[in-house]
Structure 1
Amino acid sequence: MSYFSKQQIEAAIAFHGHLCPGLAIGIRAAELAQCELDNPSDDEIVAVVETDMCGVDAIQFLTGATLGKGNLIHRDYGKMAFSFFCRDTGKGFRAVLNPEARGGLEEEMRQLAEKIRTGQASDQDKQRLGELRHSLQERLMHLPLREMFLMTPQTQGLPKPPRILASLRCEHCGENTMESRTRRFGGQTLCIPCFAKVEQKV
C-alpha cells in the first residue's frame, strides 16, 4: 500500500471495528478511485457500490463519499463491484474484484466457516480459518491494483446530484415521506411499507 498513510488505514480499521479481507478490498478500491480520478475531493467523488460488505465502510471513510451527501449509492446486487466518478471531470470507471485476487483461498475458507456455523469445527479448524483470513487480507493489501481489479471505463451513467424534494403525508400511517418514494394506490398516497402491505398479491 502506498496511497494512504498507515494512520489513515488504522483509522479506517477503527471506524469499521476490525481488519478483515472484506475491509482490505474496500481500502484498495478507495485507493484505486483516488489514483484513477486524480484525488477528487469528498464533494467531487461519487461511489456506487454493488454490495453491502465490510469494504463499503473503508470506501466511505477513505473517500469521504457518504449516503448523507448523496454521493455514496448502494445497489443491492451482491457483486464485489464498485464504480467511481468525478463530478467535475465526468471521468469514471467500474472495478470488479478479479476472481483470481483471492489466490484460491476462498473455497477452504468457505468450508471451514460452514463447519464453524454448524458447530462441527475443531479448534484446529478455527485456527486454520484465522490463518487463512490473515493470509488473504495480507495478499489483498499488497496485490498490485491492476491485478486485483478488472476495470471498465464509464463515460456515461454519472449519478445525478441529490435534490431536496417535498415530503408528502402517507395516508395510511401518517408519516411524512419524500415525494419520490411515495406510491399511489386506490386514490391514496402511500409510503413504500404501507403500499407493500395493501398491494400484496399473496
Structure 2
Amino acid sequence: MKTLSTSRSEDEDLVCIVENDACGVDTIQAVAGCSVGKGNLILRDLGKHAYTFIDRKRGRAIRIIQRPEPLIERIDPRASELRAKVMGGAVTPAERDEFYARQAEVIEKILAIEIGELFHIRDVPQDIPERAKIFKSVQCTRCGEMVAEDHVRMKDGKVVCIPCAGEYGRGW
C-alpha cells in the first residue's frame, strides 16, 4: 500500500486480485480492507503467491509476487526440516514443540525483513475491474432458496438455482 501511496480501502477504490486461496489472502483482507463481499477482492485461484493491487482513483496497479528463494530454509534450515515432518504427520512430540518454538522465531525474523527481500514488486498495466454490481434476489422454484438473479438457470421453463439445475452434458 505504501508503494501505491494509498491507505486501507473503506470503499472499492483499492482492488486486489489474488491468485491463490492461501492464508495470505486473509492478511490482504485485514490490512488492505479488500473483501469479496465488498467486491474489491477478486479470487482467481491459479495457485500462485501473486497479488495485483489496483488503485482506481489513480489508475495505477502493482503486482506483488513471492520471491522463489526458500525463505524459511534460509532463515532456519532446522525449522524447514521440522515443518516437513509436522505437515507430513511423522513427528515426535519433542520435534513438534521444537518446530513451534522455531516457527515463532522465524516469524519474528520475517516481520523484520524488508519487503523487497520477500517479494518482487512492480508496476503493471492492468484493466480496472468494474465496480461490484448488486443483483436482485429471486426464489428458486425447486428448493425455495433465494439466489442472485444473475446466477439462476432455466430448467423446464422454471427459474432454478445452479445446484437445482443439475449438470449439463451431452451424454459423453
Tell me which interval the TM-score lies in, with the shorter structure as reference length. 0.7 to 0.9
Contact kept in structure 1, 2:82 and 2:95, CA below 8 Å: no
- SS of 1:36's equivalent? coil
- Report how far residue 170 of structure 1 moved: 2.1
| Corresponding residue to 2:98 among 128, 144, 153 | 128
What TM-score do you get using the length of structure 2 for normalisation?
0.79
| Corresponding residue to 1:111 among 54, 69, 84 | 84
Count of aligned pairs: 165
- The verdict on how the C-alpha distance between 1:183 and 1:151 changes in structure 2, with shifts beyond 3 A counting, is farther
Partner of 2:5: 38
Q: Does 1:181 align with 2:151?
A: yes
Unpaired runs of at least 5, structure 2: none
What TM-score do you get using the length of structure 1 for normalisation?
0.69
- Report how far residue 173 of structure 1 moved: 1.5
Show CA shifts across 1:66-107 (max 9, x none). Answer: 222211222233322211111101111121111226242575
2-side partners of 1:128 and 1:161: how far apart? 47
1-side partners of 2:64 and 2:27: how far apart? 15
Contact kept in structure 2, 1:170 and 1:189, CA below 8 Å: yes
- Report how far residue 165 of structure 1 moved: 1.8
Letter in 2 for 1:81: A
| Corresponding residue to 2:140 among 165, 170, 173 | 170
Q: How does 1:20-99 map to 2 (within 5 A)?
A: 34-42=1-9, 43=11, 44-99=13-68
Structure 1's consecutive aligned runs of 4 or more residues displaced over 6 angstroms after TM superposition are none
Contact kept in structure 2, 1:40 and 1:86, CA below 8 Å: no
Partner of 1:161: 131
Between stretches 83-92 and 101-110, larger displacement belongs to: 101-110
Task: Report the identity percentage.
Answer: 30
Contact kept in structure 2, 1:112 and 1:129, CA below 8 Å: no
1-side partners of 2:63 and 2:82: how far apart? 27
Contact kept in structure 2, 1:181 and 1:191, CA below 8 Å: yes
More helix by share: 1
- SS of 1:99's equivalent? coil
1-side partners of 2:8 and 2:119: how far apart? 23
